[in-house]
Amino acid sequence: MNYKKTIIFTLLINILISPLTGQSSNLQKDEIKRLFTKSKKLPLHTDQFANSLKLLPSPPDRNSQLFAIDKEIYLNTRKLINTSRWNQAIEEAAIFNGTIGKNFSKTIGIEISKKNTPITQDFLEDLLIMSGNFGTDKAKKHYQRIRPFMYYHTHSCTPEDEELLSKDGSYPSGHAAFGWSAALFLSEIFPDKQDQILKEGYEFGQSRVICGAHWQSDVDAGRLIGAEVVARLHANQEFRKKLKKVKQELLKKSREIHFNKN
């Protein structure tokens, strides 16, 4: 495996490892290998997206007012520990266990899964790799920003991930980049539900702040990356064809659900 492939593989692990209650570590490894193989077959790769190091401003300096705001937001979200919103943050951290579209399923009224919507599931996996990985890697690697749970010597909402997360830069957030890019694409398909979908995408990013895995400025920067990736993918003919198939699949499912209700 050459240096570039090693970087991609490491980044996939850093972004994707999440709690998998009741599932073996071998299953995790198999899934990572599958996504790594898939990443090499995507129509676009890291160097074809905007350079996140050039696109984004530097993360807030520790002595800045912006970092003071980051800390204040983090401390204010500690009141959510052990609440339903905390549990949501734990659930939304697990984008690795086949439930990648679960948070959007209720919003659009369609179960997104490998069995029910295989084209959409495949599309979201591609988007996860390209937005959460390819789109963020240069800035993450350069800044290696310390995460909130490390700064405060405490735990995140997923303590089992902390050893791995501590080796991966906090800025920008790959989860937030994916959540926002997914919301933008899904709101194109369901414009009548765009407010709910975009709200869900926003909250997906906020879950990382609540979890203690990211600062607010990490999440804000991640959303910018997500939007950049969406714009870049719209310029790719192969990806536009895939998006058209996703739209056909989801709208067909929507019509079936409506027909069955009536």
pLDDT in tens, 4-50: 444 454 545 544 443 333 333 454 566 667 777 777 778 787 888 99
- Share above pLDDT 90 across residues of the chain, in percent, rounded to a whole number: 70
Q: How many domains does the chain have?
A: 1
Residue 51: band (very low, low, confident or very high) from pLDDT cuts 50, 70, 90? very high
Q: Per the residue annotation, which of 70, 126, 147, 208 is the catalytic one? A: 208
Task: Kindly report the CATH number assigned to the domain that includes residue 86.
Answer: 1.20.144.10
* Least confident piece of the model among 95-104, 135-144, 149-158: 95-104
pTM above 0.85, yes or no: yes
pLDDT value, residue 4: 45
Q: Per the residue annotation, which of 70, 126, 161, 218 is the catalytic one? A: 218
- The residue count for the chain: 262
Residue 258: band (very low, low, confident or very high) from pLDDT cuts 50, 70, 90? confident
| Angle formed by the axes of helices 237-261 and 216-234, nearest 10° | 100
Q: Which two tokens stand for residue 60?
A: 């807030």
Q: Which two tokens stand for residue 213?
A: 């895995």
Distances (CA, A) of 98 to 83, 149, 229: 25, 26, 22
Q: Which two tokens stand for residue 114?
A: 């490998």
Contact between 145 and 62 under an 8 Å Cβ cutoff? The reply is no
The amino acid at 107: T
- 34 an active-site residue? no
- 155 an active-site residue? no
| Range 32-63 burial, b when 16+ CB lie within 10 A, else e | beebbeebeebebebeebbebeebbeebbeee
The gap between the terminal CA atoms of the chain, to the nearest Å, is 55
Pairwise CA distance, residues 40 & 42, whole Å: 6
Pairwise CA distance, residues 44 & 48, whole Å: 6
The residue whose two tokens read 């058209």 is: 244
What is the distance of C-alpha 140 from the center of its chain? 14
Residue 196: band (very low, low, confident or very high) from pLDDT cuts 50, 70, 90? very high
- Domain with 77, as residue range(s), is 3-261
The amino acid at 221: A
Q: Per the residue annotation, which of 214, 220, 223, 232 is the catalytic one? A: 214
- 85 an active-site residue? no
- 142 an active-site residue? no
Q: Which of 212, 93, 75 is nearest to 148 (CA)?
A: 212
**pLDDT tens digit sequence for 125-136:** 999 999 998 999
The amino acid at 40: K
pLDDT value, residue 262: 61
What is the distance of C-alpha 127 from the center of its chain? 9
- Element at 155 (helix H, strand E): none
Q: Per the residue annotation, which of 137, 147, 168, 175 is the catalytic one? A: 175
